[in-house]
Amino acid sequence: MPSKKTRVNLTVDDDLNALLDDVARLTGTPKARFILEILNDVKPMLVELVDAMESANKKKDYIPNLARMSALANAKTSIINSEMAELYSGQLDWVEGDK
């Protein structure tokens, strides 16, 4: 049965396409799924951005929305940093074990 979800057509530059191909190949994840995961990850920030822009258009205080966006971005960055530290730590153990 065909999906009832909306499809989006994207046109990307060759260098971005090559990068997405590399990530898909290295993670074993189809390119479309990888792109969808990225978009789902940033969805909360997009919601905050829409709220902030709507507040700005209505001349309301948009600072709380921007503060939430900043806090969310910092939290995501912290998670990425932790994951990278764990990955790097594991690689060091692996390299030192070869000595």
The pLDDT of residue 25 is above 80: yes
Predicted confidence band of residue 44 (pLDDT cuts 50, 70, 90):
confident
The string of DSSP codes covering 2-39 is: ---SPP------HHHHHHHHHHHHHHT--HHHHHHHHH
* pLDDT score of 43 more than 70: yes
C-alpha 12/C-alpha 19 separation (Å) is 11
Q: How confident is the model at residue 69, as a pLDDT?
A: 77
> pTM to 2 decimals?
0.58
Tell me, what's the pLDDT at 41?
A: 86
Max CA distance (Å), the chain: 64
Instruction: Give per-residue pLDDT as tens, 67-82.
Output: 887 888 888 888 888 8
Q: Are 45 and 74 in contact (CB under 8 A)?
A: no
